[in-house]
């Protein structure tokens, strides 16, 4: 189904809008559910499609991104699709080289070491020229979905991208990146500002291409404490929501719901709930009731089953889902995991999770 590149006009009519309704705080018959990394290595068909291709070459192929995005929907009655891509395409657009090293993960050939290295980055990025392949993948996938479910676009948030660009890859402490925040606060803000501007254009471009919701991943929030988060993460998270919405209005594009997912940032939940996003995503380290208390009544919550719960027997998964739904309530809520699916997970257990959310939330809503 991923063969024709069509224009972003005349998209098929949406048949299941449960996810969008929940995101906007409207009533739903069942709680919608999707999974972070639902297009991933836990699916044999994903490994097969990806086998011959370099990871970032796959990201640059609209046809392959479309195929990988659709694979989980052929297996599970998910309520949303999320475009297959990677957060590190943004540093690539700024002129940095990133390669996927087997067994190690994404690796920058020349990470930022000194403040002077900022001058090597593109200061003005034409997102259509640099990231047009993502926009094409979104348009193609939106047509190929045939209105089955909404399509989510996404980006990494500035601090998370900055940390990768300085660390050169994953890190357990983020000490190099955090040392910039303490030693070079002005240069850090310059870099974060540049990233926020590119991310804004990138997200607006995704909506123009057909994305029906947007998620911002602040995956490395947990490495910051309340002070650093307040100074170097939250202002940019807020700016992105504000700037994206004002540009969508200017360009007469749909005002799509936006989700902020700041992993391990419970200390900031109250602020995140007021940062301009319709949905706040949660990791598994917070109780549903506490999250509701801290975020108030005006945002939808998303999350937050421990991904490792999917290693449990299927009946146990059902019990955990029921408990989670009782904690959050079935309304103003989108079920998800507290982080992405892991590569060694059994697809049948993912199916059990999705079905349990639908069954239990329908039951709770009836009674």
Active-site amino acid positions:
37, 41, 50, 86, 164
The SS3 of residue 100 is: strand
The DSSP line for 148-173 is SS-EEEEEE-HHHHHHHHHHSS--SS
- Cβ count near 355 (within 10 Å): 17
- Cβ count near 187 (within 10 Å): 17
> Which secondary structure element, helix H or strand E, spans residue 188, and what is its range?
helix 185-209
Residues β-bridged to residue 305: 337
DSSP state of 195: H
Residues 174, 220: Cα–Cα separation, whole Å: 9
Torsion on CA atoms 334, 18, 248, 200, rounded to nearest 10: 30
- Max CA pair span of the chain: 62
> Which secondary structure element, helix H or strand E, spans residue 197, and what is its range?
helix 185-209
- Adjacency order of strands within the sheet including 333-337: 81-82, 151-156, 213-218, 258-262, 279-281, 300-305, 333-337
């Amino acid at each position: 189904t991923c063969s024709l590149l069509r224009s972003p006009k005349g998209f098929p009519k949406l048949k299941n809008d449960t996810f969008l309704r929940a995101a906007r705080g409207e009533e739903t018959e069942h709680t919608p559910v999707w999974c972070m990394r639902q297009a991933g290595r836990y699916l044999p068909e994903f490994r097969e499609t990806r086998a011959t291709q370099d990871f970032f070459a796959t990201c640059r192929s609209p046809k392959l991104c479309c195929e990988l995005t659709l694979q989980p929907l052929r297996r599970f009655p998910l309520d949303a699709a999320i475009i297959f891509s990677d957060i590190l395409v943004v540093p690539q657009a700024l002129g940095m080289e990133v390669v996927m090293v087997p067994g190690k993960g994404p690796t920058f050939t020349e990470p930022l070491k000194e403040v002077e290295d900022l001058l090597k980055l593109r200061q003005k990025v034409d997102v259509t020229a640099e990231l047009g392949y993502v926009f094409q993948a979104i348009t193609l996938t939106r047509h190929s979905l045939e209105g089955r479910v909404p399509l989510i676009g996404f980006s990494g948030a500035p601090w998370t991208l900055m940390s990768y660009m300085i660390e050169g890859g994953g890190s357990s402490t983020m000490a190099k990146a955090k040392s910039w925040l303490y030693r070079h606060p002005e240069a850090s803000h310059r870099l974060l500002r540049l990233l926020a501007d590119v991310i804004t254009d990138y997200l607006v471009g995704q909506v123009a291409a057909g994305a029906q919701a947007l998620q911002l991943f602040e995956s490395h929030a947990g490495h910051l404490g309340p002070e650093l988060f307040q100074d170097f993460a939250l202002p940019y998270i807020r700016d992105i929501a504000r700037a994206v919405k004002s540009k969508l209005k200017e360009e007469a594009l749909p005002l799509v719901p936006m989700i902020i997912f700041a992993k391990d940032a419970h200390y900031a939940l109250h602020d995140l709930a007021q940062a301009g996003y319709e949905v706040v995503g949660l990791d598994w380290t917070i109780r549903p009731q506490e999250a509701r208390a801290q975020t108030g009544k005006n945002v939808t919550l998303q999350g937050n089953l421990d991904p490792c719960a999917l290693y449990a027997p299927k009946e146990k998964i059902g019990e955990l889902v029921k408990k989670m739904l009782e904690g959050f309530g079935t309304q103003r809520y989108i079920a998800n995991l507290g982080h992405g699916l892991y590569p060694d997970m059994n697809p049948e257990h993912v199916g059990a999770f999705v079905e349990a959310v639908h069954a239990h939330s329908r039951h709770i809503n009836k009674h």
